[in-house]
């Protein structure tokens, strides 16, 4: 029978700038069920970003003219608008309270991923996305592989809103050790009809499944282990998940 299990190891301490996140993860895994070949470790973006020092203090930001205009249109703090502009390669939509931007790495999301929640340094601090989430994932994959002698995949996840549907869902920002897309094209369905267009964003579905355990409030469960998921091992290019603007009909 096909089955999967997912759990959130306990005992992960507060993650601050310069916390050695990789060691924290290895330690948390040592204290519980050890990882096995084929497990997927899903790690919340927020702790990756914080450990990598990807935080900024609004007090240290001098907003430029463009940020001033963006602040006016959105009703946001001009200093926050400046940070969003620093992170974005394009601002796609603005309305009061909301800025949808294309992050420099290609993700389309609110505020180019700049976020106030769960930063823990004070009201005026915000957190940015990791510089290279694939590399962050690879470091964790290697450290866990070295510590336990197992081959695990890693997904760095975040919660993003999306067009057409309310609410956020977990998505993959970075991956290591798995192909983010699983293509069924050329395979036959159970009646012999050849599938022509089926490509499943497995990394995003793993990110969403983990999000069910991570929560967004005070739970503090940034690490989830998923065992039994079907995926194809591969070298990580999470960029494959991001549709290039020229091919996107809704940008």
What's the DSSP call for residue 34?
Answer: P
Tokens of 1: 């029978």
Q: State how far the Cα of 18 lies from the Cα of 64, in Å rounded to an integer.
A: 30
The answer to whether residues 133 and 45 touch, using CB atoms and an 8 Å cutoff, is yes
Q: How far is the CB of 169 from its own copies (least distance, A)?
A: 5
Q: State how far the Cα of 251 lies from the Cα of 249, in Å rounded to an integer.
A: 6
**18 to 47, contacts with its own copies by CB under 8 A?**
32
Q: State how far the Cα of 194 lies from the Cα of 3, in Å rounded to an integer.
A: 26
Examine residue 251 and tell whether it contacts its own copies (CB under 8 A): yes
Examine residue 104 and tell whether it contacts its own copies (CB under 8 A): no
Q: How far is the CB of 137 from its own copies (least distance, A)?
A: 17
Q: State how far the Cα of 55 lies from the Cα of 114, in Å rounded to an integer.
A: 9
User: What track of x and - describes contact with its own copies for positions 163 through 202 (by CB under 8 A)?
Assistant: xxxxxxxxx--------xxx-x--xxxxx-x-xxxxxxxx
Binding its own copies (rule: CB under 8 A), the pick from 81, 118, 134, 149 is 118
Q: State how far the Cα of 79 lies from the Cα of 22, in Å rounded to an integer.
A: 32
Binding its own copies (rule: CB under 8 A), the pick from 9, 38, 63, 133 is 9
Widest CA span in the chain? 62
Closest CA to 21 of 148, 139, 116: 139
User: What track of x and - describes contact with its own copies for positions 60 through 99 (by CB under 8 A)?
Assistant: ---------------------------------x-x--x-
**217 to 246, contacts with its own copies by CB under 8 A?**
217-221, 229-230, 240-243
Element (H, E) at 155: strand 153-160
Window of 16-24, 77-85, 136-144, 212-220 that interacts with its own copies by CB under 8 A: 212-220
Q: State how far the Cα of 101 lies from the Cα of 88, in Å rounded to an integer.
A: 6
User: What track of x and - describes contact with its own copies for positions 122 through 151 (by CB under 8 A)?
Assistant: -x----------------------------
Tokens of 131: 């510089």
Of the pair 8, 144, the CB lying nearest its own copies is at 8
Q: How far is the CB of 23 from its own copies (least distance, A)?
A: 20
Of the pair 60, 122, the CB lying nearest its own copies is at 122
């Amino acid at each position: 029978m096909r089955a999967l299990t997912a759990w959130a190891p306990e005992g992960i301490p507060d993650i601050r700038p310069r916390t050695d996140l990789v060691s924290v993860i290895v330690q948390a895994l040592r204290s519980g069920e050890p990882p096995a070949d084929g497990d997927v470790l899903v790690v919340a973006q927020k702790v990756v970003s914080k450990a990598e020092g990807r935080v900024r203090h609004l007090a240290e930001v001098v907003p430029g003219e463009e940020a001033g205009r963006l602040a006016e249109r959105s009703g946001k703090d001009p200093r926050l608008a400046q940070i969003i502009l620093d992170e974005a390669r394009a601002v796609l939509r603005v309305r009061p309270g909301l800025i949808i931007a294309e992050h420099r790495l290609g993700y389309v999301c609110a505020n180019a991923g700049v976020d106030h929640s769960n930063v823990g340094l004070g009201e005026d601090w915000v957190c940015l996305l990791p510089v290279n989430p694939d590399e962050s994932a690879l470091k964790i994959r290697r450290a866990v592989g070295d510590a336990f002698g197992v081959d695990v995949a890693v997904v760095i996840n975040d919660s993003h809103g999306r067009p057409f549907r309310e609410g956020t869902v977990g998505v993959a920002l970075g991956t290591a050790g798995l192909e983010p897309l699983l293509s069924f094209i050329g395979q036959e369905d159970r009646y012999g009809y050849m599938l022509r267009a089926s490509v499943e964003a497995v990394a995003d579905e793993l990110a969403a499944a983990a999000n069910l355990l991570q929560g967004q409030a005070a739970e503090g469960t940034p690490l989830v282990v998923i065992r039994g998921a079907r995926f194809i091992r591969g070298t990580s290019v999470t960029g494959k998940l991001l549709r290039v603007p020229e091919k996107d009909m809704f940008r």
